[in-house]
């Protein structure tokens, strides 16, 4: 008896995944729910458990291959058959051969089929992802004009964006002004170790470039006295622990942010053409550094949660993100982002806005230092910098500063009754 292993759908908007690592070799036994392979999407990396116990009889796609969801990628067998002991090479499987033939077939081969449009569409699908095809349709671009750098010549999102940029950089016919320069191609040395972008790194790179080109970034920095919050946290940390919640500084900060958003809803908006969409749900995206990149899980309706609820959510999504247990759907729908490089010792930063949001708050490290307080006295206080990057197309400097002042006042006078 055999069991098919299929490429799972990791979220509603995810249509394909890249096989990063097979944890088992053909012929090896695997228990049900034991991790069989690691897949990467443009949003998250995740381990896929085995759907049944058995021997890994066949691997139909090798590491590095991008496969559409619901496609059979491996076969498990209850018995160690001859096929299991001497499996075909993944590159020699019928499925793989058919895919390679579709990719390599010239466009003119569509003629005998009697339906050229259908064959051309199939060819495009083998050379690009649904996301890239959607972008091509929006920009009225023929993907056949773009050289793909992905697996089997696939046109990646990065290829498409570079194509658009090259078109943009070309001088207009009516001017003799040379195309702008500034992109310097590095020629690798023989001793360099070349490592292609992972799907996540490529997604981060594309997202950052697009954000810089989309929003007018401005940053304002405020200094916050966190002494009161530090004392409240210390006195309530054990009680929260007994309720299954780790009380860090982040729940306090998110609580202050949601209060400030209530007063300045423009900070929870998005730009639609030349209009502003004021979003009613306050979904706080929280950047989490992981060993293989950066994930930004979303705490939905954060303004409706108590400090205890926020503490539970913050600890939960951070842990699941680091353990590859977060789903792609949990990485979408954020309306405002908080990033915390302070855990690594950074004083503050000037982060890039997480599109299509209009602002991102950067949390610096909390350090004890002498501060001049009332009556010119000097006291040791726990101080922190908060830096807000905002989109100056829709947020004015005065609004951003009043927003930050609201956060500062809340944190420096945090109500004990909220705990």
> Catalytic pick from 70, 301, 392, 401?
392
Handedness of CA 402, 407, 413, 416 (dihedral sign): positive
206 tagged catalytic: no
Q: Which of 31, 169, 396, 401 is catalytic?
A: 396
Largest interatomic CA distance in the chain: 90
Residue 217 known to be catalytic: no
b/e per residue, 183-193, with b = 16+ CB within 10 A?
eeeeeeeeeee
- The DSSP bridge partners found for residue 288 are 295
Catalytically active residues, by annotation: 392, 396
């Amino acid at each position: 008896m055999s069991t098919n292993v299929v490429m799972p759908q990791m979220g509603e908007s995810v249509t394909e995944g890249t096989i990063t690592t097979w944890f088992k070799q053909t012929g090896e036994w695997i228990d049900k729910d034991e991790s069989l392979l690691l897949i990467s999407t443009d949003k998250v990396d995740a381990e896929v458990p085995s759907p049944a116990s058995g021997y890994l009889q066949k691997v139909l796609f090798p590491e590095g291959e991008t496969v559409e969801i619901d496609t059979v990628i491996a076969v498990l067998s209850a018995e160690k058959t001859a096929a299991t002991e001497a499996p075909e090479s993944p590159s020699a499987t019928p499925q793989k051969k058919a895919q390679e033939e579709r990719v390599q077939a010239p466009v003119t081969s569509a003629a005998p089929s009697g339906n050229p449009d259908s064959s051309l569409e199939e060819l495009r699908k083998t050379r690009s992802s649904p996301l890239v095809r959607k972008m091509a349709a929006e920009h009225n671009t023929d993907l056949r004009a773009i050289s793909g750098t992905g697996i089997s010549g696939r046109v990646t999102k990065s290829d498409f964006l570079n194509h658009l940029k090259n078109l943009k950089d070309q001088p207009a016919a009516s001017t003799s002004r040379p195309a702008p320069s500034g992109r310097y191609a590095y020629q690798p040395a023989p001793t360099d170790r070349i490592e292609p972008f992972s799907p996540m790194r490529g997604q981060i790179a594309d997202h950052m470039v697009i954000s810089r080109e989309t929003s007018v970034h401005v940053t304002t920095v405020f200094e916050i006295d966190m002494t009161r919050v530090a004392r409240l946290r210390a006195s309530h940390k054990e009680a929260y622990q007994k309720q299954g919640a780790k009380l860090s500084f982040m729940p306090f900060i998110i609580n202050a942010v949601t209060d400030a958003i209530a007063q300045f809803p423009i900070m929870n908006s998005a730009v639609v053409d030349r209009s502003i969409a004021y979003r009613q749900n306050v979904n706080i995206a929280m950047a989490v550094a992981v060993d293989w990149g950066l994930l930004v899980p979303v705490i939905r309706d954060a303004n409706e949660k108590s400090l205890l609820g926020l503490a539970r959510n913050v600890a939960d999504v951070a842990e699941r993100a680091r353990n590859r247990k977060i789903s792609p759907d949990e990485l979408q729908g954020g309306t405002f982002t908080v990033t915390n490089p302070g855990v690594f010792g950074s004083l503050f930063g000037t982060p890039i806005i997480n599109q299509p949001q209009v602002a991102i708050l950067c949390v610096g490290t909390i350090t004890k230092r002498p501060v001049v307080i009332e009556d010119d006295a000097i006291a040791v206080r726990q101080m922190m910098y908060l830096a807000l990057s905002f989109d100056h197309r829709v947020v004015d400097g005065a609004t951003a500063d009043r927003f930050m002042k609201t956060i500062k006042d809340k944190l420096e006078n945090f109500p004990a009754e909220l705990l």
